[in-house]
Structure 1
């Protein structure tokens, strides 16, 4: 029995090593959230069996839980580089035919040839409609639309665009060469009741699940969504020093369980050698 107990310990330590290694590998990934492996002990006995005479049966993986703590915001020189100071997520929509809606903290956006603002996966940043004063007129996910940067003024096609600005509340404003401006909308933000239940799909993107609950869509500066920082990107929330300590701990745990298996093997061999 001790062999299988130590074997479960080896598997747990290997999972721990893999989790920490993945955290370290993504230190430079924008918007990445570190994960932590959680374990629980295994214990079983029959109703008529005294627990005072029963040892544990090893360890099991309870789950690999992501840690959605705030990462450091690093300044950049691009207006479309967006960082979130808060708990919100950007809402992005993938390419046809699936057009899957995902949620991301990776605010490294850019404009494609059609003027659509897309992230590193090609998904389009979503906006909420606003009125003349820049207030959102809807907070429904079904009312979001792609952010598209115009090339010219809507009132005069001969007047080209001068710049685009994004406020802390996510209001996107296009200014044209003649001094006129147009409010394009507010960046749609999402929050979840249980962020740990989100399903990661890579590139700091997540999908909602039954565990996370449905997304609650609103604009920045509302509730826990936080504010948007134009010209900044969120770094991974990975502390290299902490991860290296955890790596050493997982390695020693692996070695200790391997030593226990070796001891069990020697004991078994000694019994077999008895004449």
Structure 2
């Protein structure tokens, strides 16, 4: 039994090392949110068990919990680099498949067709001018390359309330809409899709859309981007602790093997 107990400890430690390594690897990934492995003990018990005689039989990975604490905000100066100064997620829609994703990575850019996208074909979602977020669905953020008078696009500004204003070389400007933010009842239930993107699940609940700086949604900071919330010093301490747990369980297996070998030798 002791060998199986230690084996479960080694497997759990290995899982913990994997989660920690993933965090460290993404310490420079914009919008990344760290995770932590959650463990639970295993007991050999039944209805007739005497609680004074219970013996633990190991450990199991109970789950991997995500932390959506905000990362540090870095100034970039790029007009379409956006950071959320509070709760909420940017919403994007895939040009190819129409898949809806949620992210804290606000590194957007303008493509040749005028789509405000993340460089991977996922277009930022906004509310059209005058839309009611309570009833109207977000739409793709598309900035016309030329205005009605044929003047070329000059630049875009994004205000703290999420309003996007496009300007043109003839001095005119107009509102494209407002950045749409999504919130979830249980964000820990979001499914990681890679590239600091998440998708909604039955555990997270459906997204509630709203404007920046309303309700529990944070405001928008333009010319800035949110970094990973990984604390490298904390992760390295966790890495050492988990490695020590792995080594301790390995040593326990070695000790159990020696005891078994001794008992067998005594009998012979």
Match of 2:132 in 1: 137
SS of 1:93's partner is: strand
Does residue 68 of structure 1 match 2:78? no
Within 2, Cα distance between the matches of 1:45 and 1:144?
53
Within 2, Cα distance between the matches of 1:41 and 1:49?
17
1:89–1:189 contact (8 Å) kept in structure 2:
yes
Within 1, Cα distance between the matches of 2:208 and 2:111?
28
SS of 2:166's partner is: strand
* Aligned with residue 267 of structure 1, among 259, 263, 268: 259
SS of 2:55's partner is: coil
Match of 2:42 in 1: 42
CA RMSD in angstroms, aligned pairs only: 1.2
Match of 1:122 in 2: 121
Alpha-carbon offset, residue 138 of structure 1: 3.3
2:75–2:224 contact (8 Å) kept in structure 1:
yes
Within 2, Cα distance between the matches of 1:180 and 1:22?
47
SS of 2:43's partner is: coil
Within 1, Cα distance between the matches of 2:119 and 2:258?
54
Does residue 226 of structure 1 match 2:218? yes
Within 2, Cα distance between the matches of 1:95 and 1:257?
50
TM-score (norm 2): 0.96
Alpha-carbon offset, residue 87 of structure 1: 1.3
SS of 1:260's partner is: helix
SS of 1:56's partner is: strand
Within 2, Cα distance between the matches of 1:220 and 1:127?
11
Alpha-carbon offset, residue 271 of structure 1: 1.5
The runs of at least 4 consecutive aligned structure 1 residues that moved more than 6 Å come to none
Alpha-carbon offset, residue 146 of structure 1: 1.1
Unaligned 5+ residue runs, structure 1?
none
Alpha-carbon offset, residue 145 of structure 1: 1.4
Match of 1:211 in 2: 203
Alpha-carbon offset, residue 149 of structure 1: 1.6
Alpha-carbon offset, residue 74 of structure 1: 0.2
Match of 2:142 in 1: 148
Within 2, Cα distance between the matches of 1:120 and 1:64?
29
Alpha-carbon offset, residue 221 of structure 1: 0.4
Within 2, Cα distance between the matches of 1:161 and 1:95?
22
The structure with the greater share of residues assigned to strand is: 2
Count how many residue pairs are aligned between Structure 1 and Structure 2: 267
Within 1, Cα distance between the matches of 2:127 and 2:75?
26
Within 2, Cα distance between the matches of 1:257 and 1:53?
23
Within 2, Cα distance between the matches of 1:137 and 1:192?
19
TM-score (norm 1): 0.94
SS of 1:58's partner is: strand
Alpha-carbon offset, residue 178 of structure 1: 2.7
SS of 2:114's partner is: coil
1:198–1:206 contact (8 Å) kept in structure 2:
yes
* Deviations 1:96-115 (CA, angstroms, capped at 9, x unpaired): 3x311010111111111111
Does residue 168 of structure 1 match 2:167? no
1:129–1:143 contact (8 Å) kept in structure 2:
no
